Amino acid sequence: MAATPAGVHTEDTVVVTAAVGREWPGVAAPSLTLAEQVAISERRDPSAAAAATVALKWAAGLLTGTAVQSVRLVREPGRRPRARAGPHAVYVSLSHTAGLAVAAAARSPVGIDVERVRVVHEPTRLAGMLATMGAPPPGYAPTADLAVLSAWTRYEAVVKALGVGCIFPPRRFRVGTGGDVSLDGASVPLRVLNLPLPLPSVGHIGAVAGRLTGDLLVQELHPGDLADIGDIETPFPVPSALTTHYPAPRRQNPAMVAVLDKEKLRHTIAATLDVAVAQVRDEAHFMEDLGVDSLMAIELIVVLERSVGVKLDEGRLHEVTCLRRAYDLLTEQLWATT
């Protein structure tokens, strides 16, 4: 039986939230394509990936009145994520963090982000970097950590909606009291709002950005909502032919060897991320292999910059993806300033 979210909604944007649990990969399987199941099984946290993917398809179905199984996600290089829901094409965005996945679907470009409320590394400096992104929502304790987390979710939501990634640093944006957005002083046709996360999401904070000219619908999704799609299936082995292949690592410039103590960097990264030193391999991807989210990545860079005594160019921060790249970039900067 095809599961269709109740009703056809006229809201401008639909947001669906899902508490992450271990049951999601199995419960979600009937509503996912084979390619989606394979991609999810390869993720570091399949439960969060499954919950986020189903939430996204549910949001698109809710917006258009289309059966969840009929929703197809479209990802093309250089283009914003979209979904095909029957005859409809909608824009989509998703995010997940410890314990919660969120997704948004809209008839115009949209971006969404969520963060777990936690202690932030170097909050004073990060708050300075994000000072133009607005204040925390009412109802939350006005702490330095929350100010950073709240501002970061608004920044992430905005750059996702614009489809520009993090190539524009936060200081180039300004968010007004009504959520209006400007870039380098010029108005951008977007609004960004703090996400009204329903219980039990009191430990999370989020934001959604888009045209937001109509109503915003927020709905919780539970595993039981998918019960009528079909029998629950267990995850399956990943066929070797469908595994992802990564390009060979770039050769390190011999002239840079021994400028920095790589093992000291490795221990600093492990301590900052609260992982075992052995997990911080030279090529271990911070996000894909070590579970680092976008804000924690910036926190880690700030910690590494302070430990070395240099500051990386903001335009290259996105290149710090693993220990090897961090070592290369910090060494380059160290040489450029000595």
CATH number at residue 278: 1.10.1200.10
CA–CA distance, 78 with 81 (Å, rounded to integer) = 9
Query: Is-contact 28 52, C-beta < 8 A?
Result: no
C-alpha closest to that of 46 among 69, 22, 30: 22
CA–CA distance, 20 with 53 (Å, rounded to integer) = 12
C-alpha closest to that of 148 among 172, 176, 173, 129: 129
Residues 143 and 75 grouped into a single domain: yes
CA–CA distance, 27 with 236 (Å, rounded to integer) = 13
CA–CA distance, 194 with 209 (Å, rounded to integer) = 9
Give a yes or no: residue 259 inside a domain. Answer: yes
Residue by residue, pLDDT tens for the chain (338 residues) are 344 444 334 457 888 888 887 777 777 777 778 888 888 888 888 888 888 888 888 888 888 888 777 888 887 766 777 888 878 888 999 998 888 889 999 888 899 999 888 888 888 888 888 888 887 766 666 688 888 888 999 999 999 998 877 677 888 899 988 889 998 888 888 889 887 665 444 688 889 998 887 777 888 887 776 654 433 232 222 222 222 222 322 333 333 333 478 888 899 999 988 899 999 998 888 888 888 888 888 888 888 888 888 888 777 777 888 988 888 888 777 766 65
Give a yes or no: residue 247 inside a domain. Answer: no
Give a yes or no: residue 234 inside a domain. Answer: no
Total domains in the fold of the chain: 2
Give a yes or no: residue 307 inside a domain. Answer: yes
Quote the pTM value.
Answer: 0.71
Domain boundaries, position 272: 254-336
Backbone φ and ψ of 168, nearest 5°: -100, 120
Render the burial of 316-332: b for 16+ CB within 10 Å, e for the rest: ebeebbbbbbbbbbbbb
Residues 163 and 295 grouped into a single domain: no
Residues 218 and 259 grouped into a single domain: no
